[in-house]
Amino acid sequence: MIALDQVSKSYDGVSRIINNLSLEVLEGEILILLGSSGCGKSTILKMINRLIDPTEGRIYLDGKDIQQQDPIELRRSLGYVFQGIGLFPHLSIRENISMVPHLLGWPEDRINNRYRELLELVQLSPEIHADRFPDELSGGQQQRVAVARALAADPDYLLMDEPFGALDAITRDSLQQEFLDLKQRLNKTIIFVTHDIIEAVTLGDRIAILHEGRLEQIGTPEEILENPATDFVRELFAKSVKFWKGFKSIS
């Protein structure tokens, strides 16, 4: 379980990009962090893997304060899918996926089995794709590789920062479906950042809505749709509700 306890982050000592935020991520759920650009969603992910340290408050991973842990080990134990993918352009797909196991010092044959398994898991072919390079793959394929890389060392937690943000609508839709299947099979705890409401309600077990560094509401999509806690949440969902209801009735 990941827990944030009254976490704040300020870069200039005056304005707070994250303001007194507390939330818990439950075992095995997908928690969506939803909010507009610049509301501090990515900052939360970065604080969880210590790319950024909070100004105030504590973050606990399985009950342990992450500030007390070695950042390098912490990062290797969390899967991270970066905004803008962040694959290493000079390394082949195989080398990209094998990087974390390699850093962890896994034996060669274990790494070799693992990358094949992962490529198959994200529906890519080890024979065709393993020795390609990131820029030789389509955007959707790169995104699958990024997910495979995040899963490489079999972490319990997966942090995903707008992973499908740069994809076209059709690709995004099919990847979202695949992602849900994958999630069923893997049973990971996932924190997923997006600004796309449809994506949030499609994928999220729970959604945390952020606005100007504050938590507006947290709950299942149904709870939020039915009982929006603030005006901001109500307005945010107003347009989507119609669509959502239509979507529900069809399905």
For residue 62, CA distances in Å to 30, 198, 213, 238 come to 16, 30, 24, 37
Span of 2-10, 15-23, 57-65, 72-80 interacting with other proteins by CB under 8 A: 72-80
Span of 81-89, 114-122, 165-173, 211-219 interacting with other proteins by CB under 8 A: 81-89
Contact flag: residue 74 with other proteins (CB under 8 A): yes
Contact pick of 6, 27, 103, 226 for other proteins (by CB under 8 A): 103
Element spanning 71, H or E: helix 71-77
For residue 193, CA distances in Å to 120, 175, 185 come to 25, 15, 21
CA 250 from chain center: how many Å? 29
User: Nearest-CA neighbor of 32 among 168, 236, 170, 231?
Assistant: 236
Span of 3-11, 87-95, 178-186, 205-213 interacting with other proteins by CB under 8 A: 87-95
Question: Which DSSP string corresponds to 28-48?
Answer: T-EEEEE--TTSSHHHHHHHH
Contact pick of 23, 29, 82, 217 for other proteins (by CB under 8 A): 82
User: Nearest-CA neighbor of 158 among 21, 30, 26?
Assistant: 30
Contact pick of 10, 55, 69, 83 for other proteins (by CB under 8 A): 83
Residue with tokens 């005056």: 14
Shortest distance (Å) from residue 203 CB to other proteins: 21
Given the complex with other proteins, which of 73 and 127 has the nearer CB atom? Answer: 73
Report the Cα–Cα distance between both ends of the chain, in Å, rounded: 32
Contact pick of 75, 114, 144, 188 for other proteins (by CB under 8 A): 75
Residue with tokens 């912490």: 74
d(CA 92, CA 141): 13
Contact pick of 6, 27, 88, 248 for other proteins (by CB under 8 A): 88
Span of 15-23, 98-106, 162-170, 243-251 interacting with other proteins by CB under 8 A: 98-106
Contact flag: residue 164 with other proteins (CB under 8 A): no
Site string for other proteins, 122-151 (x = CB under 8 A): ---------x-x---------------x--
Span of 19-27, 97-105, 207-215, 218-226 interacting with other proteins by CB under 8 A: 97-105
Cβ atoms 36, 46 nearer than 8 A? no
Shortest distance (Å) from residue 108 CB to other proteins: 13
Contact pick of 49, 189, 194, 217 for other proteins (by CB under 8 A): 49
- The 3 state secondary structure assigned to 124-139 is CCHHHHCCCCHHHCCH
Which residues sit at the interface with other proteins, rule CB under 8 A?
46, 49, 51, 71-76, 80, 82-84, 86-90, 92, 99-100, 103, 131, 133, 149
